[in-house]
Amino acid sequence: MNNSDNNLKQRQEIILASASARRKDLLGLMGLEFTCIPSEANENIEIVAPNDYVKLLAQRKAHDIAIKHKNACVIGSDTIVVLNNEIIGKPKDIQDAKAILKKLSGKTHTVYTGVCVITNGRELVEVDKTDVTFRKLTDKEIDNYVATGDPMDKAGAYGIQGEFCVHITHMDGNFFTVIGLPVHTLYEMLIKLNVID
């Protein structure tokens, strides 16, 4: 992917260790050239604090690709939703998606996104978090949204950047963190590691 009008000078190849269309879009917005190689890392880990959870998974994803592409800068990322200390990932099926949305309805939850960047034997890991509040959802609204298929590949069973946006009443933090890649944090990490200038 290439944006010839960007102002960033890129010093090396960048690989996004993800198949997420949303992360691809956000990295593209930054004006960087990159390729996507989805990680096949094991995502099953023992339950730990949310901060540590997304850090560990972002690191696993980045390491999985970096070990095979030693000359590239590899970016791994992971996003979870947390309500009352319960970590909520992607729904397992339609019924799970409905149950998750019912659980989040009318409440404030926290979205955590971890980012790991590995390049030239150096590694940085950061976590960004944002509080998101839903309006009270009716069963019909939940059923209609789940029927679109949109929730099925998203942590917390919703996408803030799609039609579900009408149900978000308040957000305290960064919009892009909720989508799945805190671009402001990633930008600073890439500068710190001399990947861009």
Tell me which residues are annotated as active site.
78
Q: Are strands 35-36 and 73-83 parallel, antiparallel or unpaired?
A: unpaired
Count the helices and strands in the chain (H runs, E runs). Answer: 6, 7
* Residue carrying structure tokens 């850090």: 55
Cα distance between residue 128 and residue 178, in whole Å? 9
Distance CA 74, CA 35 (A): 10
CA 68, chain centre distance (Å)? 23
Indicate the SS3 state at residue 5: coil
Distance between CA atoms of 49 and 28, rounded to whole angstroms? Answer: 31
For residues 162 and 177, give the distance between their C-alpha atoms in angstroms, rounded to a whole number: 15
